[in-house]
Amino acid sequence: MPELPEVETVRRGLQQRTTDFRVERVEVLRDRAVASPSDPAAFAAALEGCSLAGWQRRGKYLLGDLRRDGDTAGVWGVHLRMTGQFLWLCEQRPPCGHTRVRIWNQRNEELRFVDTRSFGQMWWVPPHIPVEQVITGLQRLGPEPFGAAFTAGYLRQRLRGSRRPIKAALLDQSLVAGVGNIYADEALFSAGIRPHTPSGRLSLARLETLREALVRVLEISIGAGGTTFSDFRDLTGTNGNYGGVALVYRRGGQPCRTCGTSIRREKLGGRSSHWCPRCQH
């Protein structure tokens, strides 16, 4: 499943591809790909004729800034969910069976949304309406890991008295936005913290170490174009490079890169966790 680094990689690809991009035509091949408005034809009509002034990311949501004759024309929201991906096609190619939405620009280049599992969603938020009113999932999101609000003090306050394992807490999007299984495991290893540790027991100093580790791991992965583990591809169909350098994720039974101890793998809160019993306490 795409996590923050993968979504950020897609954001950068979209940003690069849509600087001179006027939506000429939108074709929705699968109605459920469009969450709002309920009529896919209305979604297509809203986007057609618009240009894109840029893309933002909030958690795992992509938000395109639509303009029509220079004025705001609302927001184009996208969530990739499990397997959603954008492809950039310079020449005409027939759609595959997993093609959900096709968007052509003024040069007949196509931005294609392909999604095998079909959980990906798009929204059009009309101008002057708060984005979170239409894309309600945004209401629950905690601070961005790179944001000024995400501090050790914030974590301490939110986790005070909690017996929930820190691994489970990190996956909670209302605590911090965009972190999933891969980067939670990697950050906990970097910080030397066992995934089972009750969140409320972590000192301010350890929470600061964890915050730094999380930011570092995410930055490294964004630099590598996202991870190789999922079906993730960027707009050019390239898979990311983080997988080759993973410290613990999906390395159960293999020697720890630091101390050589066998990496453990165990289900924790329904998700596989990977950690080193010697390096993490």
Give me the residues that bind Zn ion (CB under 5 A), please.
Answer: 256, 258-259, 261, 276, 278-279
Cβ 182 to Zn ion, closest distance in Å? Answer: 18
Task: Return the number of the residue (129 or 259) whose C-beta is nearest Zn ion.
Answer: 259
Task: Return the number of the residue (101 or 247) whose C-beta is nearest Zn ion.
Answer: 247
Cα-Cα end-to-end distance for the chain: 28
From 30, 68, 257, 271, the catalytic residue: 271
Cβ 275 to Zn ion, closest distance in Å? Answer: 9
Cβ 260 to Zn ion, closest distance in Å? Answer: 7
The answer to whether 271 is a known catalytic residue is yes
CA distance 44 to 254: 49
**For the chain, what's the residue count?**
281
From 11, 57, 60, 194, the catalytic residue: 60
List, in order, residues 6 or more apart from 248 with CB less than 8 Å away.
Answer: 185, 186, 189, 256, 263, 274, 275, 276
The answer to whether 27 is a known catalytic residue is no
Instruction: Name the closest residue to Zn ion (Cβ).
Output: 256
Task: Return the number of the residue (246 or 276) whose C-beta is nearest Zn ion.
Answer: 276
Cβ 257 to Zn ion, closest distance in Å? Answer: 8
Task: Return the number of the residue (42 or 259) whose C-beta is nearest Zn ion.
Answer: 259
The answer to whether 60 is a known catalytic residue is yes
The answer to whether 3 is a known catalytic residue is yes
Q: What is the side-by-side strand order in the sheet with 61-68?
A: 34-36, 121-125, 71-79, 61-68, 51-58
Please give the C-alpha separations between residue 105 and each of 29, 58, 203, 257, in angstroms, as whole numbers.
17, 25, 53, 47
CB 173 within 8 A of CB 140: yes
CA distance 32 to 122: 9
CB 225 within 8 A of CB 9: yes
- Show which residues are catalytic: 2-3, 60, 271
